[in-house]
Amino acid sequence: MDNLDLGVLRTAAQWRADQHPVVLGTITRTWGSAPRPVGSLVAVRGDGLIAGSVSGGCIEDDLIAQLRAGSLALRQPHLLRYGVGAEEARRFGLPCGGTLELMLEPLGPHSALDALLGHLTRGERVRRTLDLATGAVTLDSAERGADTLTLTDTHLVSHHGPQWRLLVIGAGQMTDYLAQMAGALGYGVTVCDPREEYAEGFALAGVTLTREMPDDVVLGFQVDDATAIVALTHDPKLDDLALMEALKSPAFYVGAIGSRVNQAKRRARLSEHFGLTDAELDRLHGPVGLNIGARTPPEIALSILAEMTAVRYRAAGPAAEAGCTL
């Protein structure tokens, strides 16, 4: 689930709290290319207001028209399909010729929406199971590796919460921007800084702060290939401790701030004092981030996340890298 869809759930919960009827739509399948991936959400309020997106706008317009015509006064989940033919695909904003399947569910107390948002606010990953006969929802904990959406004749099973993790070494100003932008991209963010003068004033909603030493944090982080680690302190005593463990881990991205001169010195230290091999050192992205001419902290944070995104999609293969151009 990305941050856009978390916003949809929060808006739907607020509408429900204000006593509005709400229908939640989930993309369950696509054929060909589609503007949003499977699992994307849209919420439609009883008076026609809409939150989220599943197309270029035409499907949303059709949902609003159906609601106003009374055909979305649902009592149980209902499956819609758009774009079966070329003419319908054009009509419903699927310019790549795709087809999109959408599960609509009327929200109520049985939908467990507040409980789901509670889990997501705590950064937890959740499996949501929708009973198609009754509309009742059950929630269970889920591993981050689980990211499938499954539709059967009786149930829709979806996964929610951060699928990717980012560990940042250093709680400086740049980390504020990096953590907030990463959260918007669906990362669960942890910041490590044992320095009192930096950690004392650091507080971002949804971001975990740890005061342990960086090497201990990396070792205890259960790093996997859905983890990125970025060192931002400029202090070799801290950055090197994290990097010596991060570069031996399966993290899909390891980066460190610093000039090319400092990166060369860092490689020498990591090789001489910590015994890292050339292959391990070659995994280090440094200077960190894409070269976009970034100068300010938010620009540098943007460049880091841009490079992380490029590396992540390259690792997923050509199909994920290509995507759909609209």
Same domain, 128 and 228: no
**Total domains, the chain:** 2
For residue 325, is it within any domain?
no
CA–CA gap between residue 318 and residue 204 (Å, rounded) = 35
DSSP structure class, residue 155: E
- What does the pLDDT look like over 266-303, one tens digit per residue? 999 999 999 999 999 999 999 999 999 999 999 999 99
pLDDT at 317 over 70: no
Residue 97 has pLDDT above 70, yes or no: no
- pLDDT value of position 127: 92
* pLDDT at residue 326, as a whole number: 33
- The reported pLDDT for the residue numbered 143 is 72
* pLDDT per residue as tens digits for the range 22-34: 999 999 988 766 6
Q: Does position 90 have pLDDT exceeding 70, yes or no?
A: no
Handedness of CA 107, 112, 115, 120 (dihedral sign): negative
Whether residues 176 and 138 share a domain: the answer is: no
Mean pLDDT of 184-195: 91
Q: What is the mean pLDDT of the chain?
A: 86
Residue 54 domain-assigned?
yes
Judgement on whether residues 124 and 188 belong to the same structural domain of the protein:
no
Q: Which of 119, 145, 160 is the last residue of a domain?
A: 160
DSSP-derived 3-state class of residue 78 = strand
**Omega of the bond prior to 287 within 30 degrees of 0, cis?**
yes
Closest CA to 30 of 91, 87, 128, 103: 103
- Give φ, ψ of 222 to 5 degrees: 50, 55
Average pLDDT over residues 101-119: 94
Question: Same domain, yes or no, for 74 and 171?
Answer: no
CATH for 278: 3.40.50.720
- Mind listing the pLDDT tens digit for each residue in 161-171? 877 899 999 99
Cβ neighbour number for residue 269 with a 10 Å cutoff = 16
CA distance 217 to 322: 35
Asked whether residue 270 is domain-assigned, the answer is yes
Q: Which residue has the tokens 């918007």?
A: 184
In this predicted model, which residue has the larger pLDDT, 58 or 114?
A: 114
Among 126, 160, 194, residue at a domain's last position: 160
User: In which band, very low, low, confident or very high, does the pLDDT at 325 lie, cut at 50, 70 and 90?
Assistant: very low
Using alpha carbons, select from 43, 40, 33 the residue that is nearest to residue 10: 43
Q: What pLDDT does 42 receive?
A: 92
Q: What proportion of the chain, given as a percentage, has pLDDT over 70?
A: 87
How far is Cα 168 from Cα 307, in angstroms, rounded to an integer? Answer: 15
Which carries the bigger pLDDT value, residue 232 or residue 56?
Answer: 232
CA angle 268, 273, 279 (to 5 degrees): 55
- 121, 206: one domain: no
pLDDT at residue number 321: 43
Backbone angles phi, psi at 156, to 5 degrees: -115, 120
Query: Would 57 be classed as within a structural domain?
Result: yes
Residue (of 86, 74, 76, 40) closest to 60 by Cα position: 40
* 318 or 176, higher pLDDT: 176
| 90 part of a folded domain | yes
* 175 and 145 co-located in one domain: no
Shared domain check, 7 and 71 = yes
Supply the pLDDT for residue 258.
Answer: 92
Strand ranges (DSSP E) for 62-215? Answer: 78-82, 99-106, 126-131, 137-141, 150-151, 155-160, 164-169, 187-192, 208-210
Average pLDDT, integer, range 204-215: 91
d(C-alpha 283, C-alpha 279), whole Å: 7
CA–CA distances in Å: residue 50 to residues 11, 30, 102, 275: 9, 21, 15, 56
Is residue 255 a part of any domain in this protein?
yes
What's the pLDDT score for residue 210? 94
Residue 38 pLDDT exceeds 60: yes
Domain annotation covers residue 141: yes
Neighbours of 99 (CB within 10 A): 19
Q: Are residues 279 and 186 in the same domain?
A: yes
Dihedral sign, Cα of residue 172, residue 173, residue 177, residue 178:
negative
Residue 56 sits in the same domain as residue 191: no
What's the pTM?
0.67
Residue 286 phi, psi (nearest 5): -160, 130
Q: State the angle between helix axes of 236-246 and 260-274 in degrees (0 to 180), rounded to the nearest 10.
A: 70
Question: Do 135 and 110 contact (CB within 8 A), yes or no?
Answer: yes
Same domain, 187 and 309: yes
Domain that holds residue 238: 164-316
pLDDT, tens digit, 9 for 90 and up, residues 211-221: 999 999 999 99
Residue 20 makes CB contacts below 8 A (sequence gap 6+) with 45, 46, 47
Instruction: Determine, yes or no, domain membership for 324.
Output: no
Same domain? 129 vs 178: no
Asked which of 160, 176, 210 is the last residue of a domain, the reply is 160
119 & 196 share domain? no
